[in-house]
Amino acid sequence: MDRKLSPSMMCVDYMSLGKTLETFALQGISFLHMDVMDGRFVPNFALGTDFCRKIRKACTIPLDLHLMVERPEEKLDWFSPQEGEIVSVHWESTNHMQRLLTQIRGYGAKAFVALNPATPFTVLDYLLDVIDGVLVMTVNPGFAGQKLVPSTLRKITDLRAYLDTNGRKDCEIEVDGNVSFENIPKMRDAGANIFVGGTSSVFHSGATLGENIARIKELLQ
Ligand code: DX5
Ligand code: ZN
């Protein structure tokens, strides 16, 4: 499966937003990861509907909407998911996951279930026909700049095997949280194929954006 990079837009330097988007477009970046936080599902607040709309207008890279909100089904319309975009919703955020995933696919978007570090992937048992991917949280969601939860690496390996043996070789695995230069090879070898790059890689200080992307691309080969 193709390995793709999805830079975490909550980590972008707003002073150079335009230039950053130009660089992403030139570099053929696959997705833009939008961390939406409601201050309830996770303690923090981040990116809202206006920001997402403005980014959609400013460039053609599909959004990768990571909804860390309670009852995302009530807010889905506000984000107007587009064909080819990813929408990830957390297992714990709704009482009606099957309906919600079907709703997301109804927009033409890819439906992903997001799993917190403590959430087992067996919750997917009766959802395998309505998902396009799984977002494995490799830190507890809510904040950039955290350290990897080590047991999540085993989860990626086991999840890949589970998807493959259950007829879903095509189902994508996205990883989010401390996707660093050091952790990318481990996540890649475990079977992840979409990588969210935040302060640990794409926006790592000490090198330019272009240098960081080049380094990541090499690790994703
Ligand atoms: C965590 C967020 C991540 C995070 C990734 O809740 O979903 O996108 O910002 O960035 P780093 O690399 O800082 O972990
Ligand atoms: Zn995220």
Mean pLDDT on 90-100? 98
pTM of the model: 0.98
Please provide the average confidence, as pLDDT, over all residues in the chain.
Answer: 98
* Ligand 2 mean position, distance from CA 137 (Å): 8
CB within 6 Å of ligand 1 — which residues?
Answer: 8, 10-11, 33, 35, 66, 139, 141-146, 176-179, 196, 198-200
Neighbours of 197 (CB within 10 A): 24
In tens, the pLDDT along 165-218 reads 999 999 999 999 999 999 999 999 999 999 999 999 999 998 999 999 999 999
* Ligand 2 mean position, distance from CA 192 (Å): 15
Please, are residues 85 and 109 in contact by the beta-carbon 8 Å criterion? yes
In tens, the pLDDT along 106-161 reads 999 999 999 999 999 999 999 999 999 999 999 999 999 999 999 999 999 999 99
CA separation for the pair 21, 217 (Å, rounded): 17
* Ligand 1 mean position, distance from CA 148 (Å): 10
- SS3 assignment, position 94: coil
CA separation for the pair 116, 32 (Å, rounded): 21
Alpha-helical (H) ranges within the chain are 17-26, 49-58, 97-106, 151-165, 183-190, 209-219
CA separation for the pair 29, 4 (Å, rounded): 7
Catalytic residues: 35, 176
The proportion of the chain whose per-residue pLDDT surpasses 70, expressed as a percent, equals 100
